[in-house]
Every structure is written in C-alpha cells, then in structure tokens.
Amino acid sequence: MQMDWDSWGGDVLSPEAKAARAPVRPGRVPAERELVVERHDGYVGAVVGVEAGNVHLEDRRGTVRAFPLGRGFFVDGVEIELVPAAPKQAGPTRTASGSRAVEGLKARVALPSRILVEGVHDAELVEQVWGHDLRVEGVVVEPLHGADDLAAIVDEFAPTPTRRLGILLDHLVAGSKETRIAQAVMTGPHAAHVRIVGHPFVDIWQAIKPARLGIQAWPEVPKGEDWKRGTLRRLGMPHDSQEDVGRAWQRIRSRVRDWNDLEPELLGRVEELIDFVTAGA
C-alpha cells in the first residue's frame, strides 16, 4: 500500500521537517566587562572577568561567583549563549565622555576658572567620565562638601571674566533648598561670571542608570531618612556606617563604563559647565 505522506503533515524525514523540529539555539553574546546577565537559577550579576572558561559575575552586594561560559544566561529575559569577548582592535578611541581621545596627552596648566560640585562622590563621578576632557582643557573640579555655604564660597573666590565659576548642584528643582541657594547667588554681585546648573536627582548616585546595577529603579526613600543609607538598606547592602556607604559607592561607581551609563539630565549639565569655564581660555 502506498503511504499518503499528506496524512502525516508531509515528509517527516525531510530536511525542512527536521529543521522545524530542531531546538532554537540561543544567540551568542560576548562576555564584555560590566554586561549584566541573569542565570537560569535567578542569580543576577555583572561580568567582572573571564578566566579558564568561566565568567565571573558580581551581584549588587559585591559578591563574585564563577560560572561556566555557555548557555543558561539571560539578557532582558532572552536566553543567550555567553562566549569570550574578542580582543579589542586598535584604532581611533573615544573617551568615557564620548569625545575623541587626545593621543600623548599632557595635562594642561590648570585654568584659574573652576567647576564646583556638591560632594566627593560627585567629583569622583565627573572625573571618571570627563577626566580626559578636563585635563585637555586644564579644568579643575572641586567638591563643595555641601551647598549651604555656597554664597560665601563664591564671594571668597571673587570670579571675574577670566576666572569663572561653574557650579553643579544636586536636586535643583522648584522649591528645593538648593534652588533657593542658587537663586541667591545668581542675583548677587558675581552673577555675570558664575553659572549654576543642576540635575533633579536627590543624590548624584541616581544619575547612574539603575540597569547598570541590575535593578529596575532606584529605591524610594522617605523624606527625612538619610538617602544613601536608606537606599543601601533597601538594596540589601551594608549601610550602618560611613565606611559601608563609601564601599558601596565604589562598587556602584565601578559599574559606570562611560557616558551611556548616565542619565541625560546630568550629561548636558556637565558639558555646559565645561564650555562655560573654558570660554575664551
């Protein structure tokens, strides 16, 4: 009797039928440093190294674990096959801020103008992303250690057309303390040679995109609670001492690769200040 293949839905031994039944192979993704992946067991971490066929992942608590390269990893819910990253090719390079790197750079003599930021963490993040640009231009960034005494600091600096001040403040939104301080300075005698800009975030930490830490959003911390310690507590990280905060910040900052990992509300403001203090230099 002749077999009617159509009753079986076609030739089940044909190459097309075999291909249709074959499992879909996950896409291959290079294990680039700082890539955030999720394991099939729910572990989430950023790539911090690859060695002897294993990828080392650091979770948001700073714990590092090693897993074999290959399948069983997910990015944005899609399964991937994690493979070693290809060696970097030599060629024109960009700085962390996105500008073209200056080969053989020697730091320029510092300009008399300055950029002031609220705290040490702000200064470290600006240096990490814009450090090359700042050295090209000869711009020094200094922390204010808080904005409360800003008017007195500006008066003491005594800015002039060739000795300008650019100031970056946190939480520069309507009705905030920082906005009131900025308004007082910008209506004062030195306003023509001072530029104050700000971002809307409570703290510079929030200018880092939360996805870099493997979270969907920064935690909500009630007003009146210390923001940094409250954030760390909600992230399940040590938060009892200033040393805990400092160590956490170094881990958080280490996740920033370049300007792509920062929110646009910060990027434009820093560029504006660099342009202001270098105008006519």
Helix and strand counts by DSSP (H, E) for the chain: 7, 11
Low-confidence ranges of the chain (pLDDT < 50): 1-10, 12-13, 17-19
d(CA 199, CA 257): 20
Read off the DSSP letter of residue 163: B
Query: Residue 23 has what pLDDT?
Result: 57
- Measured distance CA(102)–CA(114) in Å, rounded: 22
Cα–Cα distance, 26 to 76 (Å, whole number): 13
- Domains of the chain plus CATH, in order, are 5-83 (no CATH), 114-208+256-278 (3.40.50.2300)
DSSP conformation class of 36: E
Task: Say how far apart CA 1 and CA 234 lie, in whole Å.
Answer: 72
Rg (CA), the chain: 26
The 8-class DSSP code of residue 262 comes to: B
Reading across the β-sheet that carries 44-51, which strands appear in turn?
A: 27-30, 78-83, 70-75, 36-39, 44-51, 54-58, 64-68
Q: How much is the pLDDT for 104?
A: 57
pLDDT of residue 275: 94
Report pLDDT digits (tens) over 109-163: 678 999 999 999 999 999 999 998 898 889 999 999 888 999 999 999 999 999 9
Residue 62 Cα distances to 67, 80, 181, 234, 250, angstroms: 16, 24, 37, 15, 10
Count, residues in the chain: 281
Scanning 138-202, the segments in alpha helix (DSSP H) are: 150-157, 177-186
CB neighbours of residue 191 within 10 Å: 13
In this structure, what DSSP letter does residue 103 have? Answer: T
Angle of helix 120-137 relative to helix 242-254, nearest 10 degrees, comes to 40
pLDDT score at 5: 36
pLDDT at residue number 222: 95
End-to-end Cα spacing for the chain: 94
DSSP strand pairing (78-83 vs 27-30): parallel
The pLDDT value given to residue 49: 86
Tokens of 51: 């060695």
Phi-psi region at 185: left, alpha or beta (left = phi > 0; alpha = psi -120 to 50): alpha
